[in-house]
Structure 1
C-alpha cells in the first residue's frame, strides 16, 4: 500500500492508446493519480499543471519527438523521467539520457520491471526525506543561543535559505577534510566542496553562489560522491544508489553502468568540470569515482 502521506502524481506521454492505458493501470495500482496525454506538447502542459513526481515518455510522438520533449521539460521540471521506446540501439538510450531522462526502458517492457523501477525511485525519495527529517529533529534538540550546542550540531543537515552566505566551516573541515557541512543557523544542511553546495533536504544546488539546475539522477550522483568525500565509489555502487537499493549484491547490467556514465557526463558539463582537470568529480580508472582534491 502506498504511503498515505506521499502524494503520488504521474503524467503519461504516449500516443499508443493501448500502452497508455496499460501504463495508467499499472501506476494506478501502485497508488498514483495519473494524467494521460497523447502528444509531446500536451505532455509538457500536463507536467506544468500537475507537477508530477513521475513522468513516462514515449520517443515516437506526433509533432515533437520524445528527445525534444525531454529537453524542454528539463527547463522547468525535476520530475523523475522514464523514457519508453521500441528503439533498442544503445545510441537511442544514450540520446534519451543525454536529453534529460533518468531511466530508459525498451518496448515491449515487463510490467513488473517498470513497477520495480518506479518503487525504487519512490524509495530513494522516502530515504532522502527521512534523512532530512532526522537531521532537522537533531538540530532542533539544541538551543540556537547555545554556542556549544551550535558547534556540536555543525555537521547536522537542516534545510536553510539558499541565498545565505557560507558560515565558518572550521569545525566541519577539521572533522571531514575536503567537504564542509554548513555551520551556524544559516548554513546547516549544506554540503560544500570547491564552490559547489548541495542541500539534500531542499534538493538544491549552487555553484559559486549561483543556483544550478540538476536532474534527480545528477543530484543524487553528486550527493553520493560528496558524501563519500575522498573515498572511491564504483559504478555499481552508484547504480544501486540511484535505485535506492541498499543490497550491495544487487544485479547491475552494462546498460546500468553506461547510464551512470551518461548522467555523470551531463553533470560535468553543467558544472564545467573537465575530466582532465576535475574540480568536483575525479575518475579513478578501472575503479570508479571520487571527490576531486580540495582547492585552496
Structure 2
C-alpha cells in the first residue's frame, strides 16, 4: 500500500530535540526521518524525498543558513527553520535565502505541527513546476543560468540581478506559461514572512521588467493578468 502521510526530515544536532520532535510529529500523522548535520541530510535526501525539512540554524560544521541556501538553489522541499529566540538576523537571512517559515526556540511542539501543516498546504496550492530549478535557458535576447544571479545578453552584456529579482525570475522560468498570483509569487520567492521585507511583488516585477524587457512600458515577457497576477510568456530554449 502506498504511504500517503507527509514525510518530514528533521535536521538538528541535538538528539534531545530531534528525537522527541519526531515522536510528536508521528503521533500527529507524519512520517519522519532524522539527520544530525548537513552530511546526514544529504544522505537522507539521496534515499528519499521528504515533503518538508525542519532545519536548525545553529549546527556544527555547515550551518542551517548555508544548507537552506543550497536547498533553495537546487529546488529542494520547503524549509522550516528553527532559530534561537534572540537571533533575529538569522531569521531574516533565512527568509531571504528561501526558508518558508521559522520558529524560535524554545517552541511548543503543537505550534510547530501547525506551521508544518500550513507550509504543506501552501506548497500543495502552488502551480507545479514545469522544470526543476536548475539548468541554463535562453529566452528573448538573454541566456540565464538559474543558479547564477545574472543574465547574459547576445551582445556580451551582463546584467546583475538582486536576490529578489533572481528568485522571481527563477519562479517565472520554471513555471513559464502559468499565471501566478501575487501571494503565490511571495511564497515562491520569500516564504510566509515575505511582506516584512519586500515592499511588494509589483515593485519586484517592475524592477525585473526594466532589466529584461526591450520596453518595460510595453512588456511582452512578463505579462500582467489583471485581477489574477503575472505570467512569463517568453519562448524558452533549454540548453542544459
User: TM-score with structure 2 length normalisation?
Assistant: 0.59
Match of 1:30 among 15, 28, 31: 28
Task: State the alpha-carbon separation in 2 of the partners of residues 292 and 103 from structure 1.
Answer: 26
Match of 1:122 in 2: 120
Greater strand content: 2
Is 1:53 the counterpart of 2:19? The answer is no
Match of 2:196 among 258, 268, 273: 258
Q: Return 5+ residue gaps in structure 1 as ranges.
A: 129-199, 243-252, 283-288
Measured against aligned partners, the alpha-carbon deviations of 1:156-206 in whole angstroms (never above 9, x if no partner) come to xxxxxxxxxxxxxxxxxxxxxxxxxxxxxxxxxxxxxxxxxxxx3455479
- 1:130-209 aligned at under 5 Å gives the runs 200-202=127-129, 204=131, 208=138
Instruction: Please tell me whether the aligned partners of residues 85 and 106 of structure 2 are also in contact (alpha carbons under 8 angstroms).
Output: no
Instruction: Please tell me whether the aligned partners of residues 54 and 79 of structure 1 are also in contact (alpha carbons under 8 angstroms).
Output: yes
- Cα offset, 1:100, TM superposition: 2.6
Match of 2:179 in 1: 226
Measured against aligned partners, the alpha-carbon deviations of 1:127-150 in whole angstroms (never above 9, x if no partner) come to 45xxxxxxxxxxxxxxxxxxxxxx
Task: State the alpha-carbon separation in 2 of the partners of residues 109 and 71 from structure 1.
Answer: 24
Task: State the alpha-carbon separation in 1 of the partners of residues 70 and 200 from structure 2.
Answer: 17
Task: State the alpha-carbon separation in 2 of the partners of residues 69 and 83 from structure 1.
Answer: 11
Match of 2:62 among 55, 61, 64: 64
- Cα offset, 1:77, TM superposition: 4.2
Cα 1:281/1:86, change in 2 over 3 Å: farther
Match of 2:79 among 81, 88, 113: 81
Task: State the alpha-carbon separation in 2 of the partners of residues 32 and 264 from structure 1.
Answer: 33
- Which one scores higher on RCO, CA 8 angstroms, separation ≥ 6? 2
- Cα offset, 1:50, TM superposition: 1.5
Match of 2:40 in 1: 42
Task: State the alpha-carbon separation in 1 of the partners of residues 121 and 100 from structure 2.
Answer: 15
Q: Return 5+ residue gaps in structure 2 as ranges.
A: 148-165, 235-240
Cα 1:33/1:58, change in 2 over 3 Å: same
Q: SS in structure 2 opposite 1:74?
A: helix
Match of 1:190 in 2: none
Cα 1:293/1:205, change in 2 over 3 Å: closer
RMSD: 4.4
- Cα offset, 1:73, TM superposition: 2.4
Instruction: Please tell me whether the aligned partners of residues 9 and 34 of structure 1 are also in contact (alpha carbons under 8 angstroms).
Output: yes
